[in-house]
Each structure stands twice: as structure tokens, then as C-alpha cells.
Amino acid sequence: MVIGLLAIAAIPTVTGVSLGISEERKQKARMEDERRMAKFYMDVFCEGNSEKAKSLDGGRVVLRDNKVYIDHVDPNRRKKPAHTAAAFYIGYPDDDEKRGDGLVSTVSVDPPMLNWIYADKNTMELKYGNRTQSIEHIVGHWDWTEDETGVILAEKDLWAAVEEEDGVWAVYYDINDNGLAGFVDSARTVVEISIDRNIIDKPTDSNTNNKNKT
């Protein structure tokens, strides 16, 4: 089940393994993998002026019932109990197509489990699940923005929060950049957001940097 994913996450990706690559390049590839696998919280940035936009700004991406929501940073102040997403990038295992990096997140702490985060191709809801559940949907390429602070999918920063119930906000991928027309009932409030990478730990090889962290 999730074991497969754990196994994938436990080994470095194969970037540096092909023949003829110099030690230096291998080393670089390893460091790049490590950077890509640095875990981060996903925090919401929302610059709108409305009450609702302000309530979303500074929220955190959380997971429950196979869907991705925005709720309070403090687990005790959440509307509903949810797991705090702790995500990182890793190549999506796909035999047929190259879809680049997937986004993996912890989905529970005990037992530790990982799932893929993906956009449902029919509804544009962000969801999480194993490979079988995710493979027919939009699973990548997940990336960071040029300054590495933002999370993007398929080269686009097109995130939207949709108020599915009073004060309950789900994350959607606004694929056509038009407020999810055709995907979400027009009576629902849709707010454009960005998702920031809030790095949890520095990579293990940067102990010296850690000391400088305030």
C-alpha cells in the first residue's frame, strides 16, 4: 500500500546513477535531490482585501478525508481535526509518461504514512492518495517558484480557495485561471491564493547553517 511510497521516499532518486557521470555531478545531483526532498508546510498567502481573503491569509494546508483544506496553523484551533501537510518533491513513478516531480506529503504521523497530492482532473479539487488513486489525475510536475518560496503545479501558480461550507475552505487548482468556471457552483466563494513553502528542517548536511538559524 503506502509501503511502496515509503520505500521510494527512503532512497535517493536515481538522477546521479547513470553511467559516465562525474563524481562532482553526482554530488550535485545528490544535493539537488536533498533540496527537493526538504519537507515544508504549505502556508497560504492571500492579498485580497475582503474579510474572507484576510481570514485565509496565513492559514495552513491540512489534510482530511482525502481532500486538501486550509485551516488554522495551530491544530487546536482548527474547525475540524486534520493532519498538517508536510510535503516534499520527488519524481512521480510513471512508466508511460514523464510527469516530472510529484508532491508527497505525510498523511499521518503514527503510523508514518505518505501519499501523493494531486489535482482531480474532473473537479480540480486538490486531493491526496496512493499511486493507484492519483495516477489518472494531474500529479505533476510540481515545482517551486524561481525564488523557491512558492509551490506551483504544471508551471503555474493557479491556486484557489473554495468555501465549501461556512468557513470551510478547500484548495483547488484553477487550471484555466478563470475562478474555476465550470468546475465550481458560481454561488460559492472562490478566492485566489498562493501557497508558500515554509521549510520545516534544514537538510541534514547543513548543521552549520542550522546554528545560524535564529
The residues binding ligand NAG (CB under 6 A) are 1, 130, 132-133
Q: From start to end of 34-132, where are the E strands?
A: 40-45, 60-64, 67-71, 83-84, 87-91, 101-108, 113-119, 126-129
Q: Quick one: 132 or 204, whose CB is closer to ligand NAG?
A: 132
User: C-beta of 66: minimal distance to ligand NAG in Å?
Assistant: 8
User: C-beta of 184: minimal distance to ligand NAG in Å?
Assistant: 25
Q: Quick one: 30 or 64, whose CB is closer to ligand NAG?
A: 64
Q: Quick one: 55 or 133, whose CB is closer to ligand NAG?
A: 133
User: C-beta of 3: minimal distance to ligand NAG in Å?
Assistant: 8
User: C-beta of 130: minimal distance to ligand NAG in Å?
Assistant: 4
User: C-beta of 1: minimal distance to ligand NAG in Å?
Assistant: 4
Give the count of alpha carbons within 13 A of 49, CB side only: 0
What's the rounded Cα separation, in Å, for the pair 175 and 172? 9
C-alpha cell at 26: 553526482
* CA neighbor of 186 nearest in space, from 178, 198, 195, 175: 178
Q: Quick one: 51 or 65, whose CB is closer to ligand NAG?
A: 65
Asked if 160 and 179 touch (Cβ cutoff 8 Å), the reply is yes
65 phi and psi, to 5 degrees?
Answer: 50, 45
* CA neighbor of 166 nearest in space, from 77, 75, 80: 80
Q: Quick one: 105 or 194, whose CB is closer to ligand NAG?
A: 105
